[in-house]
Amino acid sequence: MQPSPLSINKFRIFFILCTLGILTDNIIVIHYLNQPWEIAIVDGLVSVGLLTLAGLLIIHTLRFYLPTGKQYINIFSKCLILAVIWVLLIKVILHFFYGQNAAYSKLLYESLPVRFSIGFLLLGCFTMIGILWFSQQEQKESETRKQDAEKLAKEAELFKLRQQLQPHFLFNSLNSINALIGTRPEEARRMVQQLSEFLRGTIKKEDTDWISLKEELQYLELYLNIEKVRFGNRLSTAFQIDKESTELKIPALLLQPIVENAIKFGLYDTTGQTEIILSAKKEGGHLLIAVTNPFDPATASPIHGTGFGLKSIQRRLYLLFGRKDLLTSTAKDNTFTSIIKIPQTQNHE
Amino acid sequence: MSKVIIIDDEPLARSMTKEFLQKHPSLDVIEECNDGFEGLKAIQTHQPDLIFLDIQMPKINGFEMLELLDNPPSVIFTTAFDEYAIKAFETHAIDYLLKPFTQERFDQAIAKWNEQQANSNPSQTQELLESIAQSPAQNQRIVVKNGSKIKIIPVHDVHYLEAADDYVKIHTAEGYFLKNKTMTWFENTLDKQHFVRSHRSYIVNVQQITRIDPYEKDNHVAILRSQVHVPVSRNGYSKLKNVLGI
């Protein structure tokens, strides 16, 4: 339910001032029409008091039932009825007080149509203000709701995209550790350590976190070391990082899925020696990172088309930067390269 | 002595299986393989009694490898995570070991296999392969044997399929390949939005169709880009219309 406009100070003052203005006006007019001050004041208090009550009633009604479309006719007919009741009440009450006063009685009787017109006009204005206020409130509320929903959906999507930690990877790593425990317990211990740190990093980091390339690379190294244990000598990696780029910032866990993708096609889907090269340099206002891996065109393309599973990364970049041109990939001969551009304009600290 | 082959792309995973096999001296590991191609060759050469088979492997996966064998040996699957596969294993009572597994669980699997051998229960591997068809990896490509070579056909390269006795002819731009499967298997496996069973003996790749003409009474014929005419039955015609949205 929306707050009543009267709950806001500015409107309360406006409402009171209006009431007082109309009251003063009423008193002066009655006095001007040759009635004594006493009668003019009582007349004013009764008329304006009842009108104020009617106004409050309208506000209260609108608060619960905001008219839509054709209901406007309905609400204005209610105004009309309210104005009629108001005039009748004035007549009865004031007649009760000053019925014996013939001059006033006559004035009261003759002024009824005028009073009705003014009352209806005022109540109508009041209703209009109320409707405007409440529909604006409702719009504001639905706007906020919509924004909240969008924000939630975006967060959930980002969360899902980054939580795509492969259960396959996890269980296979555990299996490797299991195998190492019997024969090479020292290595098993080291791998448990690396796997834990890797998992901790996945859980801890938020999408909104920006970390230095150096940090992200350290994290990737954990991942690649685990894969090296799993696949023995088949995997080798090379980092070619320009000095000036190491302190540049990137969103946490952004590079991870790209390297995962390189591993998926370069290591999981080929049989020979696999080298994965990661290079980074600064170019204009961007940090440019390229990941290169070998792939087998005969088996890789039939499964995954040409997209190479980079869609989710593309999507994440779009959610983060609102751009679709930040990730490009090329497949040439048996080498696949993904290039990602990270704008360095972001204000992050 | 029973002959055993271990097929897994991770050396440590293989050594784990080998270690657990030490408790079973009657099982002799005659070869270890890195991928499905090697596995296929080794199985054909050695005719093992039992294989330990990983599913996700380079080139062709464990299921695709089994599909290419005329008489697959007994299989104990070793896999880390594959929701489709696990469901299929459960429904076909084929034993599988989820990595990482323990010696006890491993021994159980061996005991179960021994029991099956003693009762000479038929292997349910074939049925398993039928049911695994729907997994996403399986409907993107078709693996066939072409002489001694293995050919991986991306499904979008397939023009149409034609029933041929116990086989299905897979027609592509390079000619046709044979696969020992039923039309129903292909109908269930392939994406129904792209492959329509236009006729009892034909499944057509919708993207290859250039036009559909009436043919004799009640029948139609689909003309492919390659100018091949594929028969369309009345029932097939309504299926095609449905997919093409006409």
Of B14, B59, B50, B56, nearest in space to B32 by CA: B14
Q: Kindly state whether A299 is in contact with chain B, defined as any CB-CB distance less than 8 angstroms.
A: yes
My answer on whether B12 and B100 are in the same domain is yes
The tokens describing A280, both together, are 């980074």
Residues A310-319 have pLDDT tens digits of 777 787 788 7
Residues B45 and B108 grouped into a single domain: yes
Q: Which residue has the tokens 């070869």?
A: B31
The pair of three-digit structure tokens given for residue A303, joined into one six-digit string: 């499964």
- Strand-pairing partners, residue B79, are B98
Supply the mean pLDDT for chain A.
Answer: 84
- A30-45 pLDDT tens trace: 889 888 888 889 889 9
For A245, the domain range is: 163-343
Query: For residue range A154-172, what is the model confidence (pLDDT) as tens digits?
Result: 776 666 655 556 788 889 9
A244 in the same domain as A117: no
Side chain identity at residue B218, one-letter code: D
Report the candidate in B45, B79, B49, B46 with the shortest Cα–Cα distance to residue B62.
B79
Total domains present in chain A = 2
Our CA angle for A84, A87, A91, nearest 5°, is: 140
Note whether A131 and A68 are within 8 A (CB): no
- Beta carbon pairs, A and B, within 8 Å: 82
User: In terms of domains, do A141 and A175 share one?
Assistant: no
Q: For residues A219 and A118, state if they share a domain.
A: no
pLDDT tier, A292 (very low <50, low <70, confident <90, very high otherwise): very high
Q: How far, in Å, CA of A50 to CA of B78, rounded? A: 86
Assess whether B125 and B7 both reside in one domain: yes
Is residue B224, in this structure, part of any structural domain at all? Answer: yes
Asked which of A151, A176, A202 is the last residue of a domain, the reply is A151
Check whether residue A256 and residue A186 sit in a common domain. yes
Q: Do A168 and A146 share a structural domain?
A: no
Q: pTM for the complete prediction?
A: 0.67
CATH (domain of B229): 2.40.50.1020
In a shared domain, residues A100 and A186: no
* C-alpha to C-alpha distance for A87 and A108, rounded to whole angstroms: 10
From B98, which residue of chain A is nearest by alpha-carbon distance? A171
Q: Buried b / exposed e across A245-255, counting CB within 10 Å, b at 16+?
A: beebbbbbbbb
Could you read off the pLDDT of A195-245 as tens digits, one per residue?
999 888 877 766 567 889 998 899 899 999 999 999 988 999 999 999 989
Asked if A210 and A134 sit in the same domain, the reply is no
Assigned domain for A349 exists: no
3-state DSSP assignment of residue B180:
coil
Residue B128 and residue B46 share a domain: yes
**Domain count within chain B:** 2
In a domain, A157, yes or no: no
* Chain A CB within 8 Å of residue B146 CB: no
A82/A129 same-domain check: yes
Domain of A214: which CATH number? 3.30.565.10
Report the alpha-carbon distance of residue B193 to residue B201 in Å, rounded: 19
Mark whether A252 and A145 lie in a shared domain: no
> Which residue of B16, B34, B59 is in closest CB contact with A178?
B16
Instruction: Confirm or reject contact between B29 and chain A (CB < 8 A).
Output: no
B12 interfaces chain A, CB cutoff of 8 Å: yes
- Among A151, A178, A198, residue at a domain's last position: A151
Based on the fold, state whether residues B74 and B179 are members of the same structural domain.
no
- Whether B143 maps to a domain, the answer reads no
Looking at the structure, tell me whether residues B167 and B114 fall in a common domain.
no
Which amino acid is present at B188? N
ipTM score: 0.78
Query: CA B14 from chain center: how many Å?
Result: 23
Chain A residue whose CA is closest to B34? A271
Query: Does one domain contain both A111 and A203?
Result: no
Residue B170 belongs to domain spanning: 153-244
> Is residue B140 assigned to a domain?
no
Residue ending a domain, choose from A122, A151, A180: A151
Same domain, residue pair A30 and A127: yes
In a domain, A158, yes or no: no
Residues 6+ apart with CB under 8 A from A69: none
**Are A316 and A324 within 8 A, CB to CB?**
no
Q: Walk along chain B (246 residues) and give the pLDDT tens digit of each residue.
A: 899 999 999 999 999 999 999 999 999 999 999 999 999 999 999 999 999 999 888 888 888 898 888 888 888 989 887 776 776 676 665 688 999 999 999 999 999 889 888 877 666 676 777 666 555 556 678 889 888 888 888 888 999 999 998 899 999 999 999 998 889 888 888 888 899 999 999 999 999 999 999 988 888 999 999 999 999 999 999 999 888 887
Q: Is the peptide bond before B100 cis (omega within 30 degrees of 0)?
A: yes
Pair B198, B161 in one domain: yes
Subunit contact A268:B10, Cβ cutoff 8 A = no
